[in-house]
Amino acid sequence: MTQLAEKPTVKDLDKGQLIDLLRQMMLIRRFEEKAAEMYARQRIAGFLHLYIGEEAVAAGAIAAINHDDYIISHYREHGHALARGVDPGRVMAELFGRETGVSGGRGGSMHLFDVERFFMGGYAIVAGHLPIACGLALANQRLGNGRIVLCIFGDGAVNEGEFHEALNLAAVWKLPVLFLCENNFYGMGTDIRRVSSVIEVYKRARAYAIPAEQVNGMNVLEMYEATQRAARRVRSGQGPVFLEAITFRFRGHSMADPESYRRKEEVQEWRELDPIVTFRQKLEQDGVIDEATFQALQAEVEEVVNEATRFAEESPKPPPEALYRHVYEEES
Amino acid sequence: MPEITFREALRQTLREELLADERVILMGEDIGAYGGSYAVTKGFLEDFGPDRIRDTPISESVIVGCGIGAAMGGLRPMVELMTINFSLLAFDQIVNNAAKLCYMSGGQIHVPLVIRMASGAGSQLSSQHSHSLEGWYAHIPGLKVAVPYTPYDARGLLKTAFRDPNPVIFIEHTALYSRKGEVPEGDYSIPFGQAEVCREGKDVTLIGYSGSVYQANGAADLLAEQGHQAEVLNLRTLRPLDVEAIVASVRKTHRAVVVEDDWKFGGFAGEIAAIIMEQAFDELDGPVARVCGADVPMPYAKELEQAALPSERQIADAALALM
Ligand SMILES: Cc1ncc(C[n+]2csc(CCOP(=O)(O)OP(=O)(O)O)c2C)c(N)n1
Ligand SMILES: [Mg+2]
């Protein structure tokens, strides 16, 4: 793995912020576990892509940008939405297909939107949202609002034409986009090493003269630090930056995945790097938290997730009469 | 009223939009330094500068996607895709994103984006430059599809496109760019979903849109020579479609011929025929006829190309067969 140019210092993170990062990862983990449980109990249908194992990427990166920077993501986006502060109850309600869901029950797991929180959606056409990220960034650039776009996608996206079109345009127009590739080595059941001529994804970006580096996506502080530096550069008007977060999903591609394509040992090796376990250990060693704090955090996220699930369960289903609502925006 | 070309009508309208609203930007291949493949945006780069008149790489997907994002982010973009044939490289962005974002976000996202593209055959450009795929776009809920015939339509519909909070596919038949027509100087717009009866008649309704209205009018002349009065309907938009105007005309004439450059099999003409059947079956004196492009990739040779396109004679004969 390419080493970061600078070691993470995180000197600007106080105790509260460090605990927030841990809480964020724990919330995502617990939310996803609950979603899996609800899927098994047939409260949730369709595709459900869990983020378990990759929490450090969302928590670190999203904490390092401003609350009004746009986020646009792929279909494995529950973690990104939660890290942005989207209400867990409304996310769960969306998974349940309820009227109160963030997308009114029209989108489901792969299409969470919360425009008020500048969360511009989850997209399920691999690489299809990268061009949109360019447009959001172009709007920011022209409006001079100082905001950047964090565009998140998987390693599977890098062999799509839209990836290359978007990187080239962002570079040539110096658009304020921070491209963040979550390289978990698999696109569904396909190992990146079997289908990519260049497996170091960040090198693809360098081919477009975009500054790019690899980050340890299992370490929330490294994610935070690298994103902070990248965001600073993007915001300065020098054009896009590309981060490749090395990470791993501990679960199958979706709930329907029998995982016949990868070895149990490989998954086990990555589980040893569990971003929550390792960060907890670090914070305990550094004396930032103790066992009691951790227990309290666990109880807290448990409560949030239970409350979210209760909210989803009790929410009304969309009435069939509302089927045609939102096909078009009414004339303004 | 002054007579101007279809091209000039578009140019005037775009210029007005650029002057009226700083948020309006234009993006596309060769729209700036080159002046536009069909010279619609000639002189714009000099007048509005490269930040608003943006020459893009040859990357249709990101051109449209960037337009979508810019619209989501508060701009009022228009993108030009040279021709409808190339728009297929942006089909994913148009169909999976532009058309669906409002719905799948539960109404949170609006995509006020105008996507212009040229369409149609007649210049011997052969198989990959000559198709008319308007019906494909009309098939998609979430899109609006404007298909102007006259310069008056071009200006009035483009105005409306820029006022619409939804993505609008704006299709310009290449045979129309240099045609002239009357366009008032003042401000006006044509609402979407309102067809125009461009010729009144009582014996048969000839229904067309975009370039095919020209052939329909020609066929009406031929029919008039034989003593039949054809009514010609210019649809102006395919989505929304002015079903009322179609049904009202069929109630009057009891016969209908749908004319379309696009392929017949699975095409939009079939949709119109089905609507007439559903809503005016008892009014019909015979089956709805379709005169469409031949089911072949567009050939190069002049004689073959002409044979592949609906002709005035074919339309008139189809109408006569119903009498
Ligand atoms: C254009 C397109 N092709 C294929 C698919 C089917 N598909 C869904 S997810 C996926 C794998 C994507 O992998 P990656 O981008 O690495 O994301 P990850 O699931 O690993 O987070 C595929 C092939 C799709 N959704 N879109
Ligand atoms: Mg992957």
Number of domains in chain B: 2
Same domain (yes/no): B92, B200:
no
Mean pLDDT computed over B58-86: 98
Question: Which positions of B are catalytic?
Answer: 60, 129
Q: Are residues B286 and B172 in the same domain?
A: no
Question: Smallest CA–CA separation between B119 and chain A, in Å?
Answer: 24
Mutate to test the interface with B, among A73, A328, A331, A332 (most CBs of B within 10 A): A328
In tens, the pLDDT along A238-292 reads 999 999 999 999 999 999 898 999 999 999 999 999 999 999 999 999 999 999 9
pLDDT at residue B91 in the model: 98
* Domain residue limits, chain A: 10-324
Cα of A317 from ligand 1 centre, angstroms: 29
State the pLDDT at residue B132. 94
- Say if residue B135 is in the same domain as residue B244: no
Cis peptide before A131 (omega within 30 of 0): no
Percentage with pLDDT > 90 across chain A: 95
Q: What is the pLDDT of residues A183-220, one digit of tens each?
A: 999 999 999 999 999 999 999 999 999 999 999 999 99
What pLDDT, in 10s, does the model give residues B193-223?
A: 999 999 999 999 999 999 999 999 999 999 9
CB A239 within 8 A of CB A212: no
Tokens 């234009």 belong to residue: B26
Which residues, 6+ apart, have CB-to-CB distance to B10 below 8 Å?
B40, B116, B154, B155, B158, B172
Residues B217 and B89 in one domain: no
Q: What is d(CA A106, CA A120) in angstroms, rounded to the nearest whole number? A: 15
Any atom of ligand 1 within 6 Å of the Cβ of A184: yes
Pocket flag, ligand 1, residue A129 (CB < 6 Å): no
Q: How far apart are CA A124 and CA A76, in angstroms?
A: 9
- Nearest chain B CA: its distance from A145 CA (Å): 11
Is residue B189 one of the residues assigned to a domain? no
- Of all atoms in ligand 1, which is nearest to the CA of residue A183? 16
Q: Which of A73, A77, A126, A257 to mutate to test the pocket of ligand 1 (most atoms within 8 A of CB)?
A: A126
Residue B319 has pLDDT above 50, yes or no: yes
CATH code where residue B307 lies: 3.40.50.920
Residues in CB range of A116: below 8 A, 6 or more apart: none
Please list every residue in chain A whose beta carbon sits closer than 8 Å to the beta carbon of residue B65: 128-132, 134-135, 162, 165-166
What is the mean predicted confidence (pLDDT) over B256-280?
Answer: 98
Q: Two tokens at B317? A: 């004969």
Q: What is the pLDDT of residues B38-51, one digit of tens each?
A: 999 999 999 999 99
Instruction: Please give the Cα distance from A60 to B21 (Å, whole number).
Output: 39
- Rounded mean pLDDT of B246-257? 98
What does residue A282 show for φ and ψ, rounded to 5 degrees? -60, -45
Same domain? B14 vs B149: yes
* Proximal ligand: closest to the CA of A160: 1
pLDDT band of A10, cuts 50, 70, 90 = low
Q: How far is the CA of A168 from the centre of ligand 2 (A)?
A: 22
Judged by CB atoms closer than 8 Å, whether chains meet at A168 and B68 is answered as: no
Q: What is the mean pLDDT of residues B260-273?
A: 97
Q: What value does the mean pLDDT take over residues B250-276?
A: 98
Of A106, A125, A128, the CB nearest to B106: A106
Q: Please say which residue of B131, B153, B182 terminates a domain.
A: B182
- Residues of A within 8 A of B110 (CB-CB) are 329
Residue A126 near ligand 1, beta carbon < 6 Å: yes
Q: Is the pTM of this model over 0.90?
A: yes
Q: What is the pLDDT of residues B271-308, one digit of tens each?
A: 999 999 999 999 999 999 999 999 999 999 999 999 99
Per DSSP, what are the bridge partners of residue B78?
A: B26, B114
Round to whole Å and give the CA distance between A266 and A193. Answer: 14
Interface of B with A in 245-284 (CB under 8 A): none
Mean per-residue pLDDT over chain A, rounded: 95
Query: 10 Å Cβ neighbour count for B50?
Result: 10
Domain CATH code at residue B116: 3.40.50.970
* pLDDT of B185: 87
Question: Is there a single domain that holds both residue B133 and residue B213?
Answer: no
**pLDDT above 60 (res A2):** no
User: To probe the interface with B, which of A47, A77, A143, A165 has the most B CB atoms within 10 Å?
Assistant: A165
pLDDT reading at B182 higher than 50: yes
List pLDDT tens digits, range A29-39.
Answer: 999 999 999 99
Q: Does B56 touch chain A (CB under 8 A)?
A: yes
Same domain, B120 and B241: no
Confidence at residue A5, expressed as pLDDT on a 0 to 100 scale: 44
Q: Quick one: what percent of chain B has pLDDT higher than 90?
A: 99
- The complex's ipTM works out to 0.97
Task: Find out whether A80 and A70 touch, Cβ atoms under 8 Å.
Answer: no
CA end-to-end span of chain B: 38
Contact status, residue A202 vs residue A242, Cβ threshold 8 Å = yes
Q: Which atom of ligand 1 is nearest to the CA of A188?
A: 11
pLDDT for position A1:
36
DSSP string, A10-50: -TT--HHHHHHHHHHHHHHHHHHHHHHHHHHTTSS-S----
B62 in a structural domain = yes
Question: What is the structure's pLDDT at A11?
Answer: 63
Q: Considering the domain boundaries, does residue B191 fall inside one?
A: no
Q: Does domain A10-324 have CATH number 3.40.50.970?
A: yes
Ligand closest to Cα of A126 equals 1
Q: Does any domain span residue B187?
A: no
Is there a single domain that holds both residue B254 and residue B289?
yes
Judge if B210 and B171 occupy the same domain: no
Other C-beta atoms closer than 10 Å to the C-beta of B91 total 16
Please tell me whether residues B200 and B164 are part of one structural domain. no
CA end-to-end span of chain A, whole Å?
Answer: 52
In-domain check, residue B312: yes
- Answer yes or no: do B142 and B167 share one domain: yes
Q: Which residues of A touch B166 (CB under 8 A)?
A: 328-329
Q: For residue A85, give Cα distances in angstroms to A115, A117, A286, B309.
A: 12, 8, 27, 57
Residues on chain B touching A135 (C-beta within 8 angstroms): 65-73, 77
Q: Assess if residue B221 is contained within a domain.
A: yes
Q: Of B120, B152, B182, which closes a domain?
A: B182
- Domain holding B257, by residue range, is 196-322
Average pLDDT, integer, range A115-138: 98
Question: What is d(CA B141, CA B239) in angstroms, rounded to the nearest whole number?
Answer: 9
pLDDT value of position A331: 60
- The residue whose CA has the least distance to atom 17 of ligand 1 is A154
The vertex-A115 CA angle with A328 and B94, nearest 5°, equals 45
Taking CB atoms and an 8 Å cutoff, what residues of chain B touch A162?
61-62, 65, 92
User: Residues B26, B168: one domain?
Assistant: yes
Average pLDDT over residues B259-272: 97
